[in-house]
Homo-oligomer: A and B are copies of this chain.
Amino acid sequence: MSERAIGIFDSGVGGLTVFKEIERLLPGEELVYIGDTARVPYGCKSPATVVRYALEAANFLLDQEVKMLVVACNTASSTALPVLEERFRIPVVGVIGPGARKAAAVTRNGRVGVIGTMATVKSEAYTRAIHALNPDIQIFSKPCPLFVPLAEEGWGDHPVALMVAREYLEPLAAENVDTLVLGCTHYPILKNTLRKFLGDGVRLVDSAQETAQTVSRLLKSDDLYRSGKPRPPRFFVTDSCENFEKVGGSFLDRRLDGVQEIQLGFM
């Protein structure tokens, strides 16, 4: 048993899709979330910079005495996970492993597409993770840098999103993938558009649910479940709270308030 909270971090609001699944699956746990909104996005930045930012966010969460660290950001997971695992003693859960497991389990023809930020695709983290499970699966990757700004603009279902999706995904469709990993926590917002272009034959894998399952398994195996009475989650951001409360509230379908602004970068 452990009464301590679970720490979750992302570059911004996208990780709230992961937060939401953890909260749904584990309502007894206390959750602390930090979004590094003053430095978002991570996806166009270099691995060294992303590792530095991830360490700063992780250190902040460690100061909150969390019992587990969830990296709810594909770019940070693909780049910084080994450093975080080496540096900290508490369990660290990223979103790549869970997404890879699900993709390997659901593909029928062994042809899997992976989309993400430039940094995530360049890292080849999904390719390695899927191949570690099944080296025969063929992976077709494509960075989709415009999907995050489209999601943040609220244009997930806009005709522009469909046109962009066509441009990015035509090559993957031509490769006849039957599974597409949404390798960025923002991408579920474009699900309808992706389905419209790809059709029902392609399974969309979003790692949020699978990540929550992994968190639950780890709490069980390490005997870390919380038993006390429920506590409300705490949210922190590095830029002003206003925009996070607005956009994050729409991600979670509820009013978000009491978000606190802090500064990272002064380790």
Residues of A at the B interface (CB closer than 8 Å) are 37-40, 44-46, 48-49, 145-146, 148-150, 152-153, 155, 158-160, 163-164, 167, 238-240, 242-243, 265-266
Contact = CB atoms under 8 A, between A and B. Distances in A.
A40 to B, nearest CB: 8
B145 A149 contact: yes
Contact of A265 (B48, B145, B239, B265): B265
A12 B158 CA distance: 28
B38 A49 contact: yes
Given A37-B45, A39-B39, A153 B159 contact: no
A164 to B, nearest CB: 6
Chain A interface main SS type? loop
A146 B151 CA distance: 10
A266 B38 CA distance: 15
A155 B160 CA distance: 13
Nearest to A48: B240
A266 B266 CA distance: 7
A164 B163 CA distance: 11
B163 A159 contact: yes
B145 A49 contact: no
Contacts of A163: 159-160, 163
Contacts of A145: 149, 152-153
